[in-house]
Every structure is written in structure tokens, then in C-alpha cells.
Chains A and B, each alone.
Chain A
Amino acid sequence: MRRDELDRFLAGVECRALRIAELATHDRDEALDLVQDAMLALVRRYSDRAPAEWAPLFHRILQNGIRDWMRRRTFRARLRAWLGRPSEEDAPDPIEALADPDGVDPAMHFERSDSGRHLEAALHALPLRQQQAFLLRAWEGLDVAETARAMRCSQGSVKTHYSRAIQALRTRLGDESR
């Protein structure tokens, strides 16, 4: 019974969670790992909680995972810079150069869409906290209190981050939004 409820909840949230993680990391595999870790942690630690609590808890776990991932990446980049080695991210990925056997990559289709590409770039350019506040409020539909729980900050901070995110998006997207 509880397993079915959890399954339904996770099935409903997993694709958007992947996109949220992907917007932060710009890496689908890393995003998939983060979403999987968040699913495992939610099921193990919070499956006994009321289903209404799952969404903010799941997003809190996911956002913590994203923050940890960013810290690790920054640390590795600093270490590489200190050791004088080039970043792995700068090196071309040979797998990316391979042709898609199916010929169609929906992610690339989205990339080709101008609006989608501009929005993705604008969202990726936001500081992480603003990006989180915007995605959780505007896309996930969490209210201010739930977003504050997910982000582990005050409701006032959520409002500030959200407002700054909107301002930045308005500036970056310009006339497109009118």
C-alpha cells in the first residue's frame, strides 16, 4: 500500500527532478545519480511520513545533493588548478562526438528550440539559491513555507531569492517574455 503510494509520488516527480538537477549540474548522468540518491534517501528515511510531506522532503534531499555535488566539483577544480592539471571538463568528450544511432535526440531538440535554449541558459546562469527558489516555487508549485523547508532557509530568504531570480530572468530573457 505504502509502496504503491511512494511509487506514484516518485513517478510523478522524477522527470522534473531530473531536469532540476540537470539545470544545476549540466550533466545528465550526474543528475540521474542525484535523483536516484534522493529517491533512496526519501524511501529509507521518510516513507513513514505523511504523503503531503514527501515533496518538500524529497526536494530538500535533492537540493542538498546538488549543493554537495557543487562543493565537490569546486574542490576538485581548485585541486586541479593547484596541481596545474587541465580540468577534465575542458577536455572534449569522445562519446559526445559519436552519432546518435536513432538519429533523434529529444534533449537536442529542446536545445534547438530558441526559447528553451535561452531559458535554460538563463536558469543555469542564476546563482544556485535563486535557481532553487525559482524552480521550486514556479515549477514544482511549492509554497513559500515548503520551499523554505526544502532549501533549509527562512521564508524571507525564499522570497528574496525568488524575486532576484525573476528580475535576472526578466533582464536576460528581455522582450521574449512580453
Chain B
Amino acid sequence: MSDDERDDAIAARARALLDQSVEELDPITRARLRAARMRALDVDATVRLRARRLAVAGAGALGLLAALSWWMRGANGPRALAEGFEDEEILAAGDDLELYDDLDFYRWLEEDGAI
């Protein structure tokens, strides 16, 4: 028998004996292995379910935030914009700003017929 054939024979014999040792594993050990396998698969399922729920909740929260910010812009935007335009008109008019400060006084003069 050549060295290679002898090596193959050793490997084959080892395989057979190891297979035999697996066949002779007791039911309790097999049950523990099965339980470990189920635990590994269930843990994975739980982790994936949690990740999916988290993703859905995150997407919902983002959507809500986007809707809220869109609504806020819609509610406050035009008024804030109009106020901005009024201010710009006064500034662009080139009038003396003190005139606006004393507006009540000029109205009184007008009503009194002084002007």
C-alpha cells in the first residue's frame, strides 16, 4: 500500500468512526442542539422584526414631521410674507422715517385744520 493510499485509508477510517460517534449521540444532547438551533433562528427573527418595526416607525415619524412643517409653512408663511412686504414698502419709499413715528401728530393737525 502506497503512502497516499494509506493516508486515504486513515482519513476514511476516521470519517467512519466520527460518523459512528455522531450516530451514537444521546437524545438529550440532540435535544439541546435542536433547542440551541431554534433559539438562534428565533433570536434572528425577533431582531429582524424589531428592525422592521423601527424602520416603519421612523418612516412614519419622518412623514409626520414633513407634514407638520409643510402645514406650519402654509399657515404662517403668507402673513409673515405680507408683513415683510409692508416693511419693504416703507423702507423703499425714501420718506423720512421720523414722519412715520409722528404719524398721529400729523393726523391731529389735519383734523384740526391746521394744515
Contact = CB atoms under 8 A, between A and B. Distances in A.
Do A and B originate from a single complex?
yes
Nearest to A10: B37
Interface in B1-15: 1, 6-7, 9-11, 13-15
A177 B37 contact: no
Contacts of B43: 40, 43-44
B40 A178 contact: no
A19 B37 contact: no
Contact of A116 (B20, B37, B39, B40): B20
B9 A178 contact: yes
A138 interface: yes
A123 interface: yes
Interface string B10-52: 1101110110111011100110111011011101110100000
A16 B22 contact: yes
Contact of A10 (B13, B14, B22, B40): B40
Q: In the complex, which range does the number of interface residues on chain A fall in? A: 35 or more
B10 A177 contact: yes
B36 A107 contact: no
Contact of A105 (B26, B32, B37): B26
Given A43-B44, A44-B43, A19 B26 contact: no
A143 interface: no
Contacts of B26: 105-107
A40 B9 contact: no
15 contacts: A6-B41, A19-B18, A36-B39, A43-B43, A107-B25, A110-B21, A113-B17, A115-B17, A119-B14, A119-B17, A138-B11, A139-B14, A139-B18, A177-B6, A177-B9
